[in-house]
Structure 1
């Protein structure tokens, strides 16, 4: 009997004590990512400590967590190690740690290594999908309630839950999308236990979309048509054509309703869209002091700095100095010096770590996207396709988010990308073992 089959048998018979613990940790991470100040760090750190303790405990029994990995897992671990290694090398050569939210770096370059360790651990002791579903439920509904309270009760211009409104809006949108995918996955099952959970996931999807609208975030919504198209292609062979049409009509009706709701309120959404158009016109006329103008200046500065040092880039800390020199020379607006990043993961990475850094960024995005897409194309099982689709949507969404915001230099952005993709991957691989054994729980 293979090691995977032995593990599966242990799970069925309740002899896998870490399963419940890891399910709880997945729930805590997804739920608290944007709801509480330390949620993005507390759950991964607790999971890391438990994983380390668990590995020590099982090592004495002659069992190795590495034995449970396959070629796909190792490829992903290579991508995580490469991204972290080049970033750590950049810190070592410059002596400067990255600055994130409120001036805190929080050892961001080491987080991919923690994610890799948790991937190894969770593959050996896989959580249940229930933790994922409940996490999306609490996270989506919580984000929606928080945003509604801040905007309609406190009168805030943009809902942000005490953080940067951009990652709050982007991650709320992503939680809403993932809740909708989970709902469709559950509806595709021949037997649908816990109907309340399916209904709650629908509510979480609407709440997540609403939170993103109320945050006033604009860039993340560019991905919505692409995500909707990917979802349609993934589910068109699962549901009858009529049901898919009803789902599509319902989805776009909700979005149109949210647009109408926010457009008719005096809470800044319509003003922000109009301001974006005005800022672009002003930039073309030579005024780069607006929000959009500063962002375009930062992209221009990043592109010029990359061309000056294309192989290894300028490095942590040195990039800011070079950019400030351009501001002093009048090449870009002086206010670009107020920011610690260039508002684009691609441009920021290229300017800091050159082509070498760009290659690791492509691996960090591309390898998970390729692996999830591979399983999505190959499998006809509805639940496998649902998990693969969820993972693919996470990577696609973060690529889009990273076009106009350095999400991977934000503490919640980096934690969210690593944690959500790793959790989804482990659930997918576990389900593949379950399906392969003939058990379609």
Structure 2
């Protein structure tokens, strides 16, 4: 199997497995990225010359450097050095990108769309089984409702985007994958993912507005009817989650009781802001986050609980790596948004629009989802973060290295 074909199946595998199989996506991508590292280190492949990729790689390297520096200056302990392992994910981006780009762009985009369809259907199936057996929020292969919902909200729209860009013959199957992902999101009970999904849908209506109007009126009505049916069937879950927020707020207002989902978030934000104010430049180190939270909850609110993050992605980054590290991730998202809008404004090609839409999904999910959850800091979300960067940058602004690879492969036989 040649490299372009391998990359196509690799894309399909990475995109399709995250909701249902959880951390399997991390094993697949990291295994591939390490292989890419070895290929470049041994001189069998070269780095991509794409400027956009190198800008992103530089920003991610700043984040990694700030995190390492923060670890070094904040009471480093050998027992905590394992917390730094996740930083390798971001350093592998230029290696993975460079070998991933030895491929046909259309094949990669179609594989991503097909993977999004599989992810949507599999997420829905897992959610129905989990909710039906336990009556609790669906958690999927991640074992965490928020992570499951975030992955589903990011991957499902690739199916509908692919339908509008390429897969006209399979439009109902592809569109069904997106609708299935929405059903899975409802069963996850993750209110923040619902907001992300709504914003991504709004972006999709803008990006693909011409393609949407090309659909027959009956097809649009049929899709609207399906979405309305999901809305009716899910109204009980949505109302219940909304009532929980109202009850938490009332509980907090009446007795200053922070022992609720909303109350704990407010407490975590207070602790995080105080910690950031004390060490604004480099932060307190990612190895100290749990200790800061546990101590802050106990001393400030009389609560004996622990969390791994502050339920606000940017705040967590600022506490762990300060203005330098958190600013680098914020700059990365800003630059990706710039690439997306530049691609949409400059080109009407389906590949460029699909790649730009992929970047928009990542930015919206990171900003909306990260406002009350996390941006990075979980192996599944870290993997999806770099995957969407690689696919989006490559399709919207990258250069395929496949012609060069074909010439190099043909050279020995010609000689």
Q: 1:24 touches 1:131 (CA, 8 Å); kept in 2?
A: yes
From 114, 120, 124, the equivalent of 2:92 is: 114
Match of 1:260 among 224, 227, 232: 232
Q: State the partner residue of 1:438.
A: none
Aligned to 2:206: 233
Distance 1:85 1:320 in 2: 21
Contact 2:352–2:395 at 8 Å: present in 1 too?
no
Q: Tell me the residue number matched to 2:239.
A: 270
Q: How does 1:263-302 map to 2 (within 5 A)?
A: 263-264=235-236, 269-285=238-254, 286-302=256-272
- Structure with the larger helix share: 2
Larger deviation, residues 254-263 vs 282-291: 254-263
Query: Is residue 19 from structure 1 mapped to residue 7 from structure 2 by the alignment?
Result: no
Aligned pair count? 396
Aligned-partner Cα distance in 2 for 1:250–1:37: 32
Q: Could you say which residue in structure 2 is the equivalent of 1:44? A: 29
CA 1:383/1:320 → structure 2, altered by over 3 Å: closer, same or farther?
closer
Distance 1:350 1:22 in 2: 35
Structure 1: tracts of 5 or more residues without a match: 1-15, 435-441
- Counterpart-to-counterpart distance in 1, 2:6 and 2:160: 26
Matched, 1:29 2:14: yes
Distance in 1, Cα, partners of 2:351 & 2:50? 21
Bigger shift: 140-149 or 315-324? 315-324
Pair 1:145 & 2:114 matched: no
Question: Structure 1 residues 98, 430: CA separation in 2 closer, same or farther (over 3 Å shift)?
Answer: farther
Sort the Cα spacing of 1:315 and 1:161 in 2 relative to 1 into closer, same or farther, 3 A: same
Give 2:306's aligned residue: 338
Contact residue 114 and residue 162 of structure 2 kept, 8 A: no
Contact 1:166 1:217 (C-alpha < 8 Å) held by counterparts: yes
User: 1:216-243: CA deviations, max 9, x gaps?
Assistant: 1001222344323322222234554x74
Once the two structures are TM-superposed, the CA of residue 172 in structure 1 deviates from its matched residue by: 1.1
Matched, 1:204 2:167: no
Identify if the C-alpha distance between structure 1 residues 322 and 393 changes in structure 2 by more than 3 Å, giving closer, same or farther. closer
**Structure-2 change in CA distance of 1:85 and 1:155 (3 Å):** same
Shift of 1:47: 1.0
Q: Structure 2: how far apart are the matches of 1:201 and 1:414?
A: 26
Superimposed CA distance per residue, residues 161-207 of structure 1 (whole angstroms, 9 cap, x where no aligned partner): 251101101211222222112211126xxxx4xx23x3221111011
SS at match of 2:357: helix
- C-alpha distance in 1, partners of 2:401/2:99? 16
1:318 aligns with 2:296: no
Partner of 1:156: 135
| Contact 1:238–1:382 under 8 Å retained in 2 | no
Equivalent residue, structure 2, for 1:136: 116
| Aligned residue in 1 for 2:161 | 181
Distance 1:263 1:151 in 2: 15
The partner residue of 1:90 within 62, 70, 94 is: 70
Query: Could you tell me how far 1:250 is from its partner in structure 2?
Result: 5.8
Is the contact between residue 384 and residue 432 of structure 1 (CA under 8 Å) also seen in structure 2?
no
Distance 2:49 2:343 in 1: 17
- Contact kept? 1:32, 1:39, Cα under 8 Å: yes
Q: How does 1:289-438 map to 2 (within 5 A)?
A: 289-329=259-299, 331-335=300-304, 337-429=305-397
For 1:98 and 1:224, how far apart are their aligned partners in 2? 39
Aligned counterparts of 1:366 and 1:389: Cα–Cα separation in 2: 15
Is 1:80–1:116's contact at 8 Å kept on the other side of the alignment? Answer: no
User: How much does 1:147 deviate?
Assistant: 0.5
- 1:12 is matched with none
> In the superposition, relative to structure 1, how do residues 247 and 317 fare at CA in structure 2: closer, same or farther (>3 Å)?
farther
Contact 1:148 1:214 in 2 (8 A): yes
Compute the displacement of 1:311 (Å).
Answer: 1.8
TM-score using structure 1 length: 0.81
Deviates more, 1:405-414 or 1:20-29: 405-414
- Cα distance in 2, alignment partners of residues 96 and 150 from structure 1: 40
> Counterparts of 2:225 and 2:385 in 1: how far apart (Å)?
29
Per the alignment, do residues 326 and 244 of structure 1 end up closer, same or farther by CA in structure 2, a change over 3 Å counting? farther
Deviation at 1:151, TM superposition (A): 1.1
Offset from partner CA, 1:23-76 (integer Å, 9 cap, x none) = 11111111112222431222112212432343356x26xxx522x423222212
